[in-house]
Amino acid sequence: MGEKVASGAPVMPMSDETPLVHRAVRTGGVLLAVAAAQFVAVAVLVESRFSGFGLWTTSLTALGSSASPWGAAFNASLVVFGALVVFGLLFSWSAFDARRSRGLGLLVLLVAAVAILCIGAFGLLRSSVPSNAVTWASYVGVGATGLGLVIVTFAMHRHERWRVSRAYTFATGVFVLAGSAVYATHLLSLSPGTVERVVVGVALLWAIVEGLHIALLHRFAPGLQVKVAAA
């Protein structure tokens, strides 16, 4: 039922006041946030189970190289992360502006999510895949994440929906690409483990922040009306 308003105040559908999204879009946002949150929680737990593990010096993928159940848990978390991000991006698709950059940017991000899923799967299937498979999947996952975020910002033009999200997404993508270059070329006198954690942390923070943002967008509600102040 429509909302009652004072006499003389015109009523208009909410879609005229603010852009609405389908319920699936909000579900996609939740999936993105949950994907990142569960990975952070599992990574912290697994790290705490390995005494002497260098938090800022050892590669994150080293957590999945252990033959212990904790290594398997870390790899399984990567698989879950990748799968949830794939569905999260697909569900969130229509929230972005209908531009070519939407399809290209989200496609690149889907490639990144699948690559991350593969890192976990390769870790679980250790003896059945080439020894450098995890390394190459890591490069693809991080590189595609940065590139995809930069591209998708060009499909975030609705100020009333994205506001600061466009600039935040672009900055995150550039930072991830720059961090990847530093990691690969050792331009700075920083431990590779430190660079990796900072880059991954920034990317995960984006998934949580923008996932929650998308999850809170107004959704379509047939018959919903809002009051607009009379002129």
For residue range 27-46, list pLDDT tens digits in order. Answer: 999 999 999 999 999 999 99
Handedness of CA 105, 106, 108, 113 (dihedral sign): positive
* pLDDT the model gives residue 219: 67
The residues near 2 (Cβ < 8 Å, ≥ 6 apart) are 11, 223, 224, 225
* pLDDT the model gives residue 18: 52
How far is CA 132 from each of CA 7, 25, 50, 170, rounded to the nearest angstrom?
A: 71, 36, 24, 31
Structural domain includes residue 11: no
Looking at residue 60, the DSSP 8-state letter turns out to be G
Which tokens belong to 128? 């059945």
Q: Report the mean per-residue pLDDT for the chain.
A: 84
- The angle formed by the CA atoms of residues 53, 185 and 37, to the nearest 5 degrees, is 45
The answer to whether 195 and 188 are in contact (CB under 8 A) is yes
Structural domain includes residue 227: no
- The angle formed by the CA atoms of residues 187, 193 and 196, to the nearest 5 degrees, is 75
Q: Which residue has the tokens 């005229």?
A: 16
* pLDDT the model gives residue 50: 79
Reply yes or no on whether the pLDDT at 100 is more than 80: yes
Q: How many domains does the chain have?
A: 1
Structural domain includes residue 111: yes
Q: What is the band of 128 on the pLDDT scale with cuts at 50, 70, 90? A: confident
Structural domain includes residue 9: no
Give the domain extent around 66: 19-221
* pLDDT the model gives residue 35: 98
